[in-house]
Amino acid sequence: MIQATALFTHALNMLFHAPSTTLRVILPAVLWVMGAAAAAGLLAGDALGAMDQVIENAAPPPAGQLLILIACGLAGILGYALMAILWHRYVLLDHDGSALRPGMGLFWAYVWRAIVLGFAQFLAAIPIGLAMLLLGGLTGSSPAALLLIGLVAGVAFLWLALRLSLVLPAAALGHVMSVRDSWRATEPLAGTLWALAVLLAVVNTLLGVIASMLLPADPGLRLMLDSLLYLIEGLVFVSMLTTLYGHLIEGRELG
């Protein structure tokens, strides 16, 4: 747990010891993501509203708005990818501002690696999901049991992501790392990463609580709030991957 706390603290310290610098580094991605969310709210408000209603009582949203919503969603995902690349490169290239911006080739290579990684994680997560479903059937449908099962599943998925995702900071630097290589590289910290997954799950839960407390009535505003919180949640995870890559692959100390 001590090593997990050290990794977690280091990742957060990189983000928050100079908040203005962090914001400057990721600002293009923040504007991209929030712009996509704002566009979705303005141009596809009816579709967003329909998604928030009970399916049986919701009128079908306009097809054009659904297409806009899909386009904005894809744009937002690409914005998240840009945020990750910018932060990986800023930290791992030792704050070299001249090398911060990725070329288009590197950007799309990163997106491709993220797609491959997502597919690998999906396949690896199937046994976890089946086990959780079986456990849910054995324990019944009580709210407490379902909450506990959800938390356990969330921690397991985060642990799996930490084990497999070193391919992403490698891709941000223009290097090729396989999912198998990431699994092998994180083997020395396999136990520690369980504790780290718990810490990340706590952060995600707290952000979820904040979102539920600040939930605005307007679907567009709600989407922008969710996008902002997902940016924070994603940035913490990205910083964690950056820390693990620097420590395990590049041999950096956690001081």
pLDDT digits (tens, 9 = 90+) for 175-228: 999 999 999 999 999 999 999 999 999 888 888 888 778 777 777 788 888 899
CB 234 within 8 A of CB 191: no
Helices (H) and strands (E) in the chain, counts: 10, 0
- Of 241, 147, 146, 145, the closest CA to residue 200 belongs to 241
Question: Percent of the chain, pLDDT > 90?
Answer: 50
Look-up of token digits 């089946």? 130
DSSP string for 100-136? -SPPHHHHHHHHHHHHHHHHHHHHHHHHHHHHHHHHH
User: What pLDDT digit, counting tens, does each position of 45-102 carry?
Assistant: 777 776 666 444 556 667 778 888 889 999 999 999 999 999 999 999 876 666 677 8
User: What pLDDT digit, counting tens, does each position of 23-42 carry?
Assistant: 999 999 999 999 999 998 88
Mean pLDDT, all residues of the chain: 86
Q: Where do the structural domains in the chain lie, given as residue ranges? A: 2-248
pTM of the model: 0.87
Which pLDDT band holds residue 250 (cuts at 50, 70, 90)?
Answer: very high
What is the dihedral angle through the alpha carbons of 97, 98, 104, 105, rounded to the nearest 10 degrees? -110
Tokens of 25: 């580094």
CB 38 within 8 A of CB 221: no
Rounded-to-integer distance, Cα 41 and Cα 29, Å: 18
CB 117 within 8 A of CB 180: no
Tokens of 68: 């806009």
Rounded-to-integer distance, Cα 237 and Cα 120, Å: 18
Question: Percent of the chain, pLDDT > 70?
Answer: 87
